[in-house]
Amino acid sequence: RAGGCGACVVLISKYDPTTDEVTEFSASSCLTLVGSLNHCSVTTSEGIGNTRDGYHPVQQRLAGFHASQCGFCTPGMCMSIFSALVKADKPGAAGEPAPPPGFSKLTSCEAEHAVSGNLCRCTGYRPIVDACKSFAADVDLEDLGLNSFWKKGADRAEVGKLPEYSSGAVCTFPEFLKSEIKASVDNQTNNVPAAIAGEDGWYHPRSIQELHSLFDSNWFDEKSVKIVASNTGAGVYKDQDLYEKYIDIKGIPELSVINRSNKGVEIGAAVSISKAIEVFSDGTPVFRKIAGHLSKVASPFVRNTATVGGNVIMSQRLQFPSDIATVLLAAGSTVTIQTASKMLCLTLEEFLEQPPCDAKTILLSIFVPDWGSDNVIFETSRAAPRPFGNAVSYVNSAFLARTSGDAASGELIVDEICLAFGAYGVGHASRARKVEEFLKGKSVSASVILEAVRLLKDVISPSEGTTHPEYRVSLAVSFLFSFLSSLATDLDEPAKAITPNGISTNGTMNGNGASSLEKQSKVGSDDLPIRSRQELVFTEEYKPVGKPTTKAGAELQASGILQYSYSSELLQCFFKGILTGFMVTFSSAVPHTVNQDLFASHSEPFGSSFCSLYFS
């Protein structure tokens, strides 16, 4: 129950009666609290295809491309792909061309990103990604790998040989639920805090005022009451069983605001990370760079529900190694918080340095100023076990500088600079103030860079007990060197290309002497994969061994119908006539004879007899 594997991904659909629109998104069911699903429709892998109604093309193509072995992760893979298809095939603008028959509007890059948060430990990702890409309109079917739909290298690859796909074939939100939601809106009162299902301990305030009335209730105790917006933090901090009551703040309109102006963007604390990425993607170069970094936080199905404010609060209160806090800190963000007595507007740096917030302090919104693009350089970096997200950073950084040109010397002068680092073994993201003060007003040269690096080594000091402290410090130095080398004017090209730790720089200069932020701020990595072909040579010598035959039961695995031997549901439903195998472990070498009395106390739930098989 950590939200990191993606095996339990489902599609959640919400209906807005005011606009008559349905919004769908993937989510990790192990982190989703049942109380938060009121008036939602949940679609599982079994819901899109099964033995009774027939299998969905996603399930059939996963099976046909040999993308399932043990099958434990396959239902989650299936739902991640299906969710991406639902999102891509939403009705677009008038006149938008439809994809060719059998394909979706999904691109190959989007198809690959769809499963970026799903882990598989046995199949390998090539067949899984091939199954994903088979839905993309821009895919070259000849480049797809081994499958059971056509003979590789002999038959012509055609979409008509694949299981037929058409968008909208699965209803994700039933009509009866729409009617129920409309009726509940008509009967809704505005002066009583809503407690779903009476006395179940789930409260759903509809305004900040209602939230404060709950805080003032006699039963409110921050040790037994948890305030949640999406509960994805439970994937890191295992505290689900410690609370008796929950207050869901997701439905408070004041926490979901998105305001754009020429001064910047205001994001409500309850806005999801995925929504924030959409907002920042449609903005200035600095905003697009922020969106690109946020797209590497967690995984798609976690970002769809996790909130920006929740991530920042965890960084402030629980010392969570947040990438978001680091990036927003460098961008000069401010936050608005509501305490028991007043509303405060603080810089993000001031907020992070405060003592940990209590449960009654609410983060309302985050404001990110618009820096424009003239003479502004903004870079973000992170080092993590997996480069495309779904992993906490070893170190993250974000640097912003405003420069001007010296007419006499032609050098760049650093007028303003912010250097933020996080996740290196301290409580929260922080600024390297000493390095900033040193760089202000200077033109960047080799000697200046070396002195800045020396100062940074004194500033970046991981706390005791931090794993690999020297490595983290070296990463921080590499990030800073890469950034400053793009501002330098007197470095040779080889010096610019390689950092002290061998990491290539990515800073480029435009005609005005400032970093070409437009070229660097592209969200995501559209050119992620290096295109390749899979060529196989078959032999008939050991036929049928080696023949690419679809695995028996692969579609069952993709549908999620199959039960595994340790499934709690299966254990609770044992009845006579079922033969079940279990692995029995010993603390020492297995004896040649096993005393059957050892299992007498366990015989009842497993049947009337116990048989053992051992190897000598």
The pLDDT tens digits of the residues spanning 351-392 come to 999 999 998 999 999 999 999 888 999 999 999 988 777 888
- What's the mean pLDDT in 401-413? 84
In a shared domain, residues 207 and 153: no
In-domain check, residue 51? yes
For the stretch 241-250, pLDDT in tens is 678 899 999 9
Residues 6+ apart with CB under 8 A from 506: 379, 482, 486, 520
Q: Are residues 31 and 119 in the same domain?
A: yes
Residue 330 pLDDT > 50, yes or no? yes
Q: Are residues 116 and 58 in the same domain?
A: yes
What are the pLDDT digits (tens) for 25-45? 999 999 999 999 999 999 999
Of 228, 253, 278, the domain-final residue? 253
- Quick check: is 358 in a domain? no
Last residue of a domain, one of 253, 283, 308: 253
616 and 508 in a common domain: no
User: Mean pLDDT, to the nearest integer, of 6-16?
Assistant: 95
pLDDT higher at 410 or 77:
77
Are residues 410 and 463 both part of a single domain?
A: yes
Same domain, 461 and 394: yes
Q: Which residues contact 587 (CB under 8 A, 6 or more apart)?
A: none
Q: Given this model, what pLDDT does residue 510 score? A: 32
**Would residue 592 count as lying in a domain?**
yes
26 and 135 both lie in a single domain: yes
What DSSP character marks residue 307? Answer: B
CATH code at 46? 1.10.150.120
Same domain? 429 vs 576: no
Q: Do 205 and 78 share a domain, yes or no?
A: no
User: Domains in the chain: how many in total?
Assistant: 4
Residues 6+ apart with CB under 8 A from 6: 28, 73, 76, 77, 80, 115, 117, 118, 119, 299, 301
Residue 147 sits in the same domain as residue 199: no
151 and 194 part of one domain: no
270 in Cβ contact with 252 (< 8 Å):
yes
- H/E stretch holding 308 reads helix 308-318
Q: By residue range, what is the domain housing residue 571?
A: 563-616
pLDDT in the model for residue 95: 62
Q: Do 379 and 526 share a structural domain?
A: yes
Q: State pLDDT tens for residues 259-317.
A: 999 999 999 999 999 999 999 999 999 999 999 999 999 999 999 999 999 999 999 99
DSSP letter string, 108-121: HHHHHHHTTT---S
pTM summary value:
0.85
Quickly state the pLDDT bin for 595 (edges 50, 70, 90).
Answer: low
- For the stretch 120-159, pLDDT in tens is 988 788 999 999 999 999 999 998 988 999 887 778 889 9
Q: What is the pLDDT of residues 493-504, one digit of tens each?
A: 444 443 444 333
What pLDDT does 515 receive? 41
Rounded to the nearest 10 degrees, the angle between the axes of helix 273-281 and helix 285-294 is 150
The domain that holds 198 is classified in CATH as 3.30.43.10
Does residue 14 sit within a domain? yes
